[in-house]
Amino acid sequence: QVQLQESGPGLVKPSETLSLTCTVSGYSISSGYYWGWIRQPPGKGLEWIGSIYHSGSTYYNPSLKSRVSISVDTSKNHFSLKLSSVTAADTAVYYCARDNLGLLGYWGQGTLVTVSS
Amino acid sequence: DIQMTQSPSSLSASVGDRVTITCRASQSISSFLNWYQQKAGKAPKLLIYAASSLQSGVPSRFSGSGSGTDFTLTISSLQPEDFATYYCQQSYSNTRTFGQGTKVEIK
């Protein structure tokens, strides 16, 4: 059974960099698929942030592309998100998911990140 | 970017009702359209992929249709556990986009 678990700080200061990791169990990232990040501000809808292939190829949301970096570490079977220069608008629940050509079939439980001083 | 627009944004319905949610893409996306259900405090769950294919384990009262720019999610007989928010999402483009969501509430 594929499982994903997000981890990282729940509080980030404005202008700093948000960093999250998604650890995958039950499946080896190096075996294939894209792996993605999605966020959801409180009370709002879903926003796709970006996805990374096991080889390192990435696709990003154009509206976030200048601030986003997604990387993968196949030796640790995890992938990571960095979002720089955060503001209160980046406060959201951040989800990781397995991205099968756009089908997001497996999701983590989500982690709330609040941007506040 | 491909924009996805859902309607309505919310609806009230009773148990047993037939419910229809629509999703429109800003350009043709063939059948690269997926539907998700999200309950409060939970991660979204994939219901339908490729416009009309039911994800394994999803009840048959859920169905999807459409191609090109116009798509529909139908719940044939609404059950208590179906009250949730539903999102469409296109996978035609490498940059995925979601609709704004449709909240299905109890009437």
The whole-angstrom separation of Cα B47 and Cα A102 is 14
User: Digits of tens for pLDDT over chain A (117 positions)?
Assistant: 999 999 999 999 999 999 999 999 999 999 989 999 999 999 999 999 999 998 899 999 999 999 999 999 999 999 999 999 999 999 999 999 999 999 999 999 999 999 999
Strand partners, B101: none
The whole-angstrom separation of Cα A94 and Cα A86 is 14
Q: What is the DSSP letter of B55?
A: P
State whether A45 and B87 contact (CB < 8 Å).
yes
Q: Which residue of B has its CA nearest to A53?
A: B94
Is A59 touching B (CB cutoff 8 A)? Answer: yes
State whether A45 and B46 contact (CB < 8 Å).
no
Reported as a single tens digit per residue, the pLDDT across B5-26 is 999 999 999 999 999 999 999 9
What confidence score (pLDDT) does residue A44 get?
97
> How many CA atoms lie less than 13 Å away from A20 in the CB half-sphere?
28
Is B18 touching A (CB cutoff 8 A)? Answer: no
B96: nearest CB among A45, A102, A107: A102
Percent of chain B scoring above 70 in pLDDT = 100
